[in-house]
A and B are shown apart, each in its own frame.
Chain A
Amino acid sequence: MAASRLDKIANIFSRATGLLRTGAVKYEDRPIWYDVYRVFPPKYEPRYNREVDPSIEIKPIFYEEDLVRAQFFEKYGLNPGGMVRDLKTVGVEDDCQRFVNSYNEIKKSNPNWAHSEVFEATTKTIVNRSSSLRDDPTYQDETTDTVRRRGHIRLLTQDSLRSMFDESIARTKNDPKKSS
């Protein structure tokens, strides 16, 4: 079509309208989209130099349960168990979300409990269900050792890293071949 190619000026609809109005293009030869655009125009004019309302502020989003989430991550580390996620799966519920859901349930059934009590109770219930959370040093269970030995991934927390570091130092000190 004989349109102006200055794409930064006005929008496609007004430029097409100009052609039709002056008779440069016959009304019968108008583009297919012209009628549809006329009846259902987009909300914002598709113009190159369209400006945005400067008063719009972008606010941070926080939730009440973020406190529980923060404590969970402090205790178990980010992504406990080193889970690998497939981005094609829809609606994933990770350990942290499961923990928060369980926390909310317990809090609902025991409205008089303090935050720390609910958190403790949640820890006990949730840890029994999830194998990736068992590496918590405070959790005493006979099966812990076997699970650790069997599991391919060992949870890396600050404490476990330190203990591994200490172990290796002790080993090199005891072994005279390596130290020399």
Chain B
Amino acid sequence: MSIPAIKLKAKLKPEEQQVVFPERKPTENIVPVRELVAGDETLQNPDYFQVHELFTVKDLFDARVHLGHKIGSMDPHMKPFIFGTRFDTVIFDLDKTAFHLRQALNFAAHIAYRKGVILFVTRSAATMNLVERTALEVGEYAHTKDYDTKILTNSTTFFQGLTRLPDLIILLSTLDTVLAQHKIVADAAKMLIPTIGIVDSNCVPNQVTYPVPGNDDTPCAVELYCKLIKEAIMRGKNRRKLNDSQQSKAVETKE
């Protein structure tokens, strides 16, 4: 049995060697930002729910938000948020923390206004009860026990039925154990769910959508975060109630 000779292909011409990508159409399926903002009153104001007035930098300092861990345990991705080290303890720049916290609170208020489902997550034993209580008070959900990755990525099988996933995940601590990141951070990124997370100096802020650099261990700091998040969410919800009632009244008067 003879092996058939392989025909060698002639060399490609230079114009054939170039890879031609199909031309990407302009975003015709997506409404331009200008139209989007013009049609939505809440997006016209940079701080529609006035979350900037909820706290001051002094409040953060008094609650010991500025205290990080020892410099040796610092993650290099946290560098832009850090003010310096005081005897090898990392100190956060509270001006930056305040900026990121306000951005996160604004986002949370908007999601609450749009009737999104919000999930509070932590694994810190000291603040579990506080976080669950906060979720209960704002009428949202909490998951503070051992996390199973199927809850988000295979929810239909796990809960035996069609499941609505959360629209926003708020992590009061992004760590699962002392050294490992909570798996829900990666899972939320997989399932296209935005996250707000308090990241301490030993955490990785990259995959968290709205990272807030700050102390996540001290009870009084976590109490402050819970208080602020609760207030922001309640503002969004109350605004929604007000607008809905005004709309229904307008409809009644027309009729």
Contacts and interface: CB of A to CB of B under 8 A. Distances in A.
A58 B77 CA distance: 12
A58 B31 contact: no
How many B residues touch the partner, as a band?
Answer: 35 or more
B8 interface: no
Given A12-B189, A27-B31, A33 B168 contact: yes
B7 interface: no
A170 interface: no
Given A38-B36, A40-B107, A90-B62, A21 B219 contact: no
Contacts of A59: 84-85
- Is chain A's binding surface mostly helix, strand, loop or mixed? loop
Nearest to A50: B206
Interface stretch (B135-143, B190-198, B227-235, B241-249): B190-198
A162 interface: no
A70 B25 CA distance: 67
Interface residues of A, number: 45
Interface in B81-113: 82-87, 90-91, 99-100, 103, 106-107, 110-111
A6 B46 CA distance: 32
B162 to A, nearest CB: 13
Interface stretch (B12-20, B172-180, B207-215): B207-215
A41 to B, nearest CB: 9
A75 interface: no
Nearest to B82: A58
